[in-house]
Structure 1
Amino acid sequence: MRALLPPLMLLITLGLAGCAAHNPYYDPAKPHHTPEGFRNLHQPPRQLDLAFLKWQWQRVWQGLPPKPPTDPIPTQAPDVDYLAHNRTDTTITWIGHATLLVQTAGLNILTDPVFSDRAFPVSFLGPKRHQPPGVPLEKLPHIDAVLISHDHYDHLDLPSIRRLYQQEGGPPEIYAPLGINDWLARHVTHGDSRYLHGLDWWDSQRLAGVELQLLPVQHWCARGILDRNHRLWGAWSVHSPQVRFFFGGDFALSTDLDTIGARTGGFDLAALPIGAYEPRWMMKPAHINPAEAVDARSRLRARRAVAMHWGTFELSDEPLDEPPRALARARQAAGLTEDDFFLLRHGETRIRAGDDWRPPTH
């Protein structure tokens, strides 16, 4: 049986990471607001901590997580020189998990930057990276904007944000759901909010002609067990003259996706999570599986989709290399091609060419 962090120790560690608070943004006219924080529009509250503890004990007694990957997780050497000098092409590069570099309208936009070796409150415990970031942080072009979907450790990594804030050429503009901006002000910018932007669902801001909009999805937030949903979560729309891009972060299937598709008119490309979905009794209210990702693409009215949130951290019970196989089955069942919902290697870049996303030809 593989060594696991004892569940009780895990909950104690997470408990120390959070603290109770009230919601300074509370608006009783908004149904997703509560006096303490935020809630989903279509999901009743759950005892997530008890469910998590049950799941962790099951993993111990059943000898989970599963066997190591049978297939290599694909990687590709990044073209860092091209990325550094690109000012005209619209591109997407997968760095790993939910960290993507999006280049459009001359901007470099980074989603959920996680470059640390582990996704956990303590640097020597928790899920360890299966392979290094596809583009090392020090090899990135100057980042103009960072988009954060929510505050879980595999999406909001404090050391990575601190290093980006100190990047040569000045900090990036950091866009985050309500409450996360305040957390970053305490832990990263020491009260300086010039580069921090907190958005509610459907709020938008513009940067150099690109519209960045926070969108409602079904998920949850917490850095510990004492701050459950005290901060907001969401997905992002990046709308430039060249592309309309959806970044999903984490989410479960809900009618929020239909609303997004109808209100926005759809997307040229949607980055959708396909990993961390087993066991379904635990994960379904918060994480989609590959078949549901195919459904999400349709609901969002996305012409193309790219898979993310797999192959980097072992967070759940399916093998690390299973999500692409499950996606291939779901894609075939839906009559989609590999171009309709494609995979990237860690470090790989694709360039938009009409409705297609092709490797660079330079």
Structure 2
Amino acid sequence: MSHTVRPEVPPSAPPAAPAAPPAERSWPADFRDRLTCPIPDFREVVSVTWHGGFRPDVGDADRIPVLRAGLPPVGPGQTGVTWVGHATYIVRIGGLTVLTDPVWSRKIPGVRQRLTPPGLAWSELPPVDAVVISHNHYDHLDAPTMRRLPRHTPLFVPANLGRWFTRRGFTNVTELDWWESARIGEVDFDFVPAHHWSRRSMFDTCRSLWGGWVLSAPGHRVYFAGDTAYGERLRLIGERYPGIDLALMPVGAYEPRWFMHVSHLDPAEAVQACADVGARRMATMHWGTFVLSGEPLMAPLHEARAAWSAAGRNRADLWDLAIGETRLLT
């Protein structure tokens, strides 16, 4: 595996040209200077929890579409994406099988067990060529799932998160800052900014970075947003990476809005974010798996469809996949 690393630049500046990676990396004590909004404090969390902000009616769980049909073949020149659930996609691009924020666990800390099964059984996975992690929140970085991977699996992770993996025996871990890039074969893995934050315990707020990923191979380019609120960094991604074919965009976990707007897109913002990054197509995610917020379970899907239509975009370019469903870029 070869790496090309671009040095970090301020979010408002154009990215620098590729440069050789430094021999050793050093990171700041934290990345709070990358925040664009204050993150929720303890009193706000208690307030929204006490008033039922995270307890939607889950009676509609049986309406969440699930299609466990296995992995159809991906031919030469094609890119396939399969939604496993939440922010987990299987992206088959440039001859590689890549997992995004893999979570196969039935339950993650702090929330009820998943509403729907993973869209593909772990035993049906082909060999995994790489994993990309957007940030360290439990619904995006799942320790039990990571333990199921071979320890030599190439992992691409945000700045200062590498030690979490090396302590667990992983031997091929690449940490990247925003606008930096690594490569396997013909596929480039570029780490890009997001409007979000990181925390895994009471004592590590923003100690590691957060972001999204642009996967580029000859013929296709896919953007995986991870978690993000709305803001100017999305436009900058579109300027830096023209011709994005597909944006894997979060549309859920957005109510109550006064609390969630600093961390998550709502469906209308997701549609606008897709336009900002210049993507022709949008595949929905981050809904229908875990109860993380207060909107009705089916609202992310219905509101995303309405916003897409209101924006005058081609209905065929909205990939509102069922869990387990695959679509192909040809």
Give the TM-score normalised by structure 2: 0.88
- 2:89 is matched with which residue: 86, 100, 109? 100
- 1:36 is matched with which residue: 29, 35, 40? 29
Question: What is the letter of the counterpart of residue 185 of structure 1?
Answer: T
Given the alignment of the two structures, is residue 132 of structure 1 paired with residue 117 of structure 2, yes or no? yes
2:111–2:292: 8 Å Cα contact kept in structure 1? no
> 2:137 and 2:39 mapped to 1: Cα distance?
17
Deviation at 1:49, TM superposition (A): 2.7
Deviation at 1:47, TM superposition (A): 4.5
Deviation at 1:308, TM superposition (A): 0.6
Deviation at 1:183, TM superposition (A): 1.3
Deviation at 1:36, TM superposition (A): 2.8
> 1:260 and 1:28 mapped to 2: Cα distance?
14
- SS of the equivalent of 1:335 reads coil
- SS of the equivalent of 1:293 reads helix
Considering only aligned residues, what root-mean-square deviation do their CA atoms show, in Å? 2.4
**Equivalent position of 2:212 in the other structure:** 235
What 5-or-longer segments of structure 2 have no aligned partner?
1-6, 13-25
**Equivalent position of 1:119 in the other structure:** 108
Question: What is the letter of the counterpart of residue 219 of structure 1?
Answer: H
1:214–1:235: 8 Å Cα contact kept in structure 2? yes
- 1:330 is matched with which residue: 287, 302, 307? 307
**Equivalent position of 1:174 in the other structure:** 155
> 1:280 and 1:34 mapped to 2: Cα distance?
33
Given the alignment of the two structures, is residue 53 of structure 1 paired with residue 46 of structure 2, yes or no? yes
Deviation at 1:67, TM superposition (A): 4.4
- 2:228 is matched with which residue: 232, 251, 267? 251
- SS of the equivalent of 2:51 reads helix
More RCO (CA 8 Å, sep 6+): 2
2:254–2:264: 8 Å Cα contact kept in structure 1? yes
**Equivalent position of 1:141 in the other structure:** 126
User: What does 1:159-198 align with in structure 2 at a 5 Å threshold?
Assistant: 159-165=144-150, 171-186=152-167, 188-189=168-169, 194-198=171-175
Q: Structure 1 residues 46 and 313 mapped into 2: Cα distance closer, same or farther (>3 Å)?
A: closer
Deviation at 1:28, TM superposition (A): 11
**Equivalent position of 1:73 in the other structure:** 64
Spell out, residue by residue over 1:144-168, the C-alpha distance to the aligned partner (whole angstroms, 9 max, x if none).
00000000111000010110135xx
Spell out, residue by residue over 1:3-26, the C-alpha distance to the aligned partner (whole angstroms, 9 max, x if none).
xxxxxxxxxxxxxxxxxxxxxxxx
Task: Give runs of ≥4 in structure 1 deviating > 2 Å.
Answer: 27-36, 39-42, 44-50, 62-68, 77-80, 85-89
Q: Structure 1 residues 181 and 78 mapped into 2: Cα distance closer, same or farther (>3 Å)?
A: farther
Spell out, residue by residue over 1:171-211, the C-alpha distance to the aligned partner (whole angstroms, 9 max, x if none).
3200000121111112x21xx5x310100000100101111
Given the alignment of the two structures, is residue 217 of structure 1 paired with residue 155 of structure 2, yes or no? no
- Percent identical pairs in the alignment equals 39
Given the alignment of the two structures, is residue 274 of structure 1 paired with residue 251 of structure 2, yes or no? yes
Question: What is the letter of the counterpart of residue 131 of structure 1?
Answer: T
Question: What is the letter of the counterpart of residue 236 of structure 2?
Answer: T
2:77–2:219: 8 Å Cα contact kept in structure 1? no
- SS of the equivalent of 1:92 reads strand
Question: What is the letter of the counterpart of residue 259 of structure 1?
Answer: L
Question: What is the letter of the counterpart of residue 124 of structure 2?
Answer: K
> 1:228 and 1:344 mapped to 2: Cα distance?
33
Question: What is the letter of the counterpart of residue 182 of structure 1?
Answer: R
- 2:142 is matched with which residue: 139, 157, 168? 157
Give the TM-score normalised by structure 1: 0.80
> 2:33 and 2:328 mapped to 1: Cα distance?
35
- SS of the equivalent of 2:118 reads coil
> 1:249 and 1:143 mapped to 2: Cα distance?
19
Question: What is the letter of the counterpart of residue 106 of structure 1?
Answer: G
1:104–1:242: 8 Å Cα contact kept in structure 2? no
**Equivalent position of 1:17 in the other structure:** none
> 2:99 and 2:54 mapped to 1: Cα distance?
36
Question: What is the letter of the counterpart of residue 95 of structure 1?
Answer: V
Q: Structure 1 residues 311 and 165 mapped into 2: Cα distance closer, same or farther (>3 Å)?
A: same
Deviation at 1:42, TM superposition (A): 6.0
> 2:225 and 2:150 mapped to 1: Cα distance?
23
2:27–2:159: 8 Å Cα contact kept in structure 1? no
- 1:90 is matched with which residue: 54, 79, 89? 79
> 2:11 and 2:275 mapped to 1: Cα distance?
26
- SS of the equivalent of 1:164 reads coil
Question: What is the letter of the counterpart of residue 138 of structure 1?
Answer: S
